[in-house]
Amino acid sequence: DQQVKQNSPSLSVQEGRISILNCDYTNSMFDYFLWYKKYPAEGPTFLISISSIKDKNEDGRFTVFLNKSAKHLSLHIVPSQPGDSAVYFCAASARETSGSRLTFGEGTQLTVNP
């Protein structure tokens, strides 16, 4: 049972345009969400997070939007750069969890073309 789903395995955008990566979740106990980026042969690196008490969080070129009623979040990258080409994972943490357990989506491969 995939509680966090990223329905698009891949996304291709032009340099300078907006990249929008989407993520859906089913567990209503999830209240903290994160995005990680992964380059080949490296471990995932933390990008940005959002708590369920907010609907938007920005950090430079990266903005995460949370729609709790739709159980949907998205990551916007503006403007996209070739160095952003990587696999992006959405992750969630449930409020009853003690500790650092995360539930991840399957990942979306973003390719930014020069």
Partner 1 sequence: KAGVTQTPRYLIKTRGQQVTLSCSPISGHRSVSWYQQTPGQGLQFLFEYFSETQRNKGNFPGRFSGRQFSNSRSEMNVSTLELGDSALYLCASSLVGMRTDTQYFGPGTRLTVL
By the rule CB under 8 A, 57 interacts with partner 1: no
State whether residue 82 is helix, strand or coil.
helix
| Region near partner 1 per CB under 8 A, out of 11-19, 60-68, 75-83, 97-105 | 97-105
For residue 73, which amino acid is it?
L
* Closest to 33 measured CA to CA, from 60, 8, 6, 1: 6
By the rule CB under 8 A, 41 interacts with partner 1: yes
Q: Which of 45, 67, 81, 113 binds partner 1 (CB under 8 A)?
A: 45
* Closest to 114 measured CA to CA, from 88, 84, 87: 84
d(CA 22, CA 7): 7
Q: Which of 13, 44, 50, 75 binds partner 1 (CB under 8 A)?
A: 44
By the rule CB under 8 A, 52 interacts with partner 1: no
d(CA 56, CA 26): 20
Q: Which residues bind partner 1 (CB under 8 A)?
A: 4, 6, 9, 32, 36, 41-46, 49, 51, 89, 91, 93, 97-107
